[in-house]
Amino acid sequence: MKKHILLSILVFFSFKSIAAGNNKQEVDSLLAKSMEFARAGELLPYLETAIKALNLANATGNDEGQAKSGSYMAEGLLAVGLFKEGLKQLDQIETTDYYKNEIFMQSEVHRMRGRAYGGLKLHQQAIREFRLQQGLIKRLKGEKQIKSYQFNYENLGVVFGYLGQMDSVQKYIELQLDNLKVFEEKDASMRYQIVYGNLGDLYVKKGDYVKAQQYIDKSLALTRKYKIPVVYNLYTSIALLEKKKGNLKKAAEFYEKSLENKKKVGNRDGMRISYRTLADFYRNEHLDKAKADQYEMAFSRLNDSLESENRQVVDQVLSQILRLKDQESESKVSKAAKITLFAMVLLFAAIVFFVWRSRYNRRLLGQKEEALQETASINKELTEQIGENKFSSLIELAKSNNPEFLTLFKELYPEFIQALKTLDPNLRSTELEFCAMAFLNFSTKNIAEYTFVTIRAVQVRKNRLRKKFDIPSDADFNNWMRGLVDEADQSQITN
């Protein structure tokens, strides 16, 4: 019965394990698809797929899936400006075991939390999160550590830029540059180009145009050498430098180049910023009112379009989140039903087990009572044979492990000692004493207690004597010992 119960529980868990394995594969597949959407710049499909993965992970309690899909979702929410919703999602990730055990996931949560606080203009909280991330990055290894430091330094530089602390901005841009030294230039050409461009832009703002030109030239050289397609930030930095030098026509040329590059790569939000910049530049510098009006109109049209699209994306994302919450509620109800069913199965198994255990204990108790009755009967018989006083003395000597025990036993039961020596004349005194205790029907536990050894040691000694006397494995050791006297008596009668 016990084996059947255990088998049923094992089968239940094996099915559950298979289902969990399938669920993990599906979640991983959805997350891979979500990443493809991210690379293509398709934000809404990215988020929808991440939410599907999160729903699936929640349905079966896939802890790792919940953490990973939750992080994808949080990243998407930050990208559309839903910073508070992103923070709530990060709170959920922190409840998972995967987060608690994975240093990289902890690091990423601090990074995203810092970005969220930065988006909410809570700059000191953002800096605190990025500092906490740095403590975790130290414990990472290899490429994960290098890339994490790179984004950490970049994020800190941006925050200090908002605060106007240019020395701190410089520190973190230079740390980015130093961090890139582990890579060959060709393997990290785009990152080098961005960092050199940022240093150029920084020195323009600090008024050091010589250094600004040096870093801008380095960035331009990498752009030409490796045919880097995205250079609009660099063009903006060059435009700003030329403007500061008073070269307004060159500045206009590079502002225009920045706009064209943004159009080429499809960066519509960047185009909006360029339209705004060009309109202000042409108007404020009194260069070309018609162009200023043209760019102002382009800005208004694109700004209205992007704001409308952004509202739609935000509405759809919020709708997806509400749907997720509804599904979570349904999942909780379903999970509660499963837990209830499982609890009932366990309760039934427990009842069956305890019924079996109760019967087994009663049977065992009966056997013990029979053994006690048998021992009492034997002791009564032995007492009648040799007298109550001598038998009591013998038992007391045995219990106190007194050397006189064997001497008195030989006196009282010479035929038993003779029967043993007939089987093996070379029996040691310790073996004779052990057999004498078995003859008196002492249990294994009693013998261990009276001779100050472990129960295991008594069992080992019994096994050795079984082999020596060829006692069958199914024969009771104590009964066999007492049977030697009966055999000796029978032999005398026959003779």
Residue 355 lies in a domain: no
- What residues make up the domain containing 445? 387-494
The owner of tokens 């207690």 is 449
Average pLDDT over residues 357-381: 56
* Alpha helix segments (H runs only) across 80-165: 83-93, 97-101, 103-119, 123-137, 142-162
The answer on pLDDT for 288 being more than 80 is yes
Predicted confidence at residue 45, as pLDDT, reads 85
Give the pLDDT mean for 78-95.
89
Output the pLDDT for position 329. Answer: 57
pTM of the model: 0.60
Q: What is the pLDDT of residues 253-268, one digit of tens each?
A: 999 999 999 988 888 8
| Higher local confidence (pLDDT), 289 or 342 | 289
Q: What is the CATH number of the domain that holds 439?
A: 1.10.10
197 is a domain residue: no
The two structure tokens encoding residue 56: 């699936």
- With cut-offs at 50, 70 and 90, classify the pLDDT of residue 223: very high
- Gap between the Cα atoms of 393 and 405, Å rounded: 9
3-state secondary structure of 402: coil
Q: Which residue has the higher pLDDT, 211 or 48?
A: 211
State the average pLDDT over residues 70-84. 87
Spatial CA neighbour of 485 closest among 405, 430, 423, 395: 423
Query: Rounded to whole angstroms, how far apart are CA atoms 389 and 85?
Result: 90
The chain-wide mean pLDDT, for the chain, equals: 83
**pLDDT category, 43, cuts 50, 70, 90?**
confident
Angle, CA 118 vertex, CA 115 and CA 119 arms, to 5°: 90
The residue among 242 and 309 whose pLDDT is bigger is 242
Residue 274 to residue 240: CA distance in whole angstroms: 13
According to the model, what pLDDT value does residue 393 have?
Answer: 86
pLDDT in tens, 100-129: 999 999 999 999 999 999 999 999 999 999
Using DSSP, state whether 398 is helix, strand or coil: helix
- Mean pLDDT, range 449-455, rounded to an integer: 90
467 occurs within a structural domain: yes
Cβ–Cβ < 8 Å for 65, 81? no
Q: Which two tokens stand for residue 221?
A: 């050289």
Q: How many CB atoms lie within 10 A of CB 304?
A: 10
Residue 180 above 60 pLDDT?
yes
Percent pLDDT > 90 in the chain is 46
Give the least confident one: 118-122, 165-169, 340-344, 477-481. Answer: 340-344
271 falls within a domain: no
Residue 393 belongs to a domain: yes
C-alpha distances out from residue 292 to 233, 263, 281, 372, 476, Å: 21, 19, 8, 111, 110
Triad 456, 461, 463: Cα angle to 5°: 95
pLDDT at 383 over 70: no
Residues 19, 231: Cα–Cα separation, whole Å: 48
pLDDT range class, residue 494, cuts 50, 70, 90: very low
Highest mean pLDDT of the ranges 14-28, 182-196, 377-391: 182-196
Percent of the chain residues past pLDDT 70, beyond the cut = 79
In a domain, 104, yes or no: no
Question: What mean pLDDT comes out for the span 190-202?
Answer: 92
Single-letter amino acid code for the residue at 353: F
The predicted pLDDT at position 356 comes to 61
pLDDT-derived band of residue 335, with 50, 70 and 90 as boundaries? low
Task: Provide the token pair at 97.
Answer: 């075991």
Q: 76: helix, coil or strand?
A: helix
358-373 average pLDDT score: 57
Cα–Cα dist 407/279, whole Å: 120
Total domains, the chain = 1
Q: Which long-range contacts (C-beta less than 8 Å, at least 24 apart) are formed by 427-435?
A: 431/465, 432/406, 433/405, 433/406, 433/409, 434/461, 434/465, 435/465, 435/481
What is the Cα–Cα distance from 154 to 177, expressed in whole angstroms? 10
CA angle 209, 214, 215 (to 5 degrees): 100
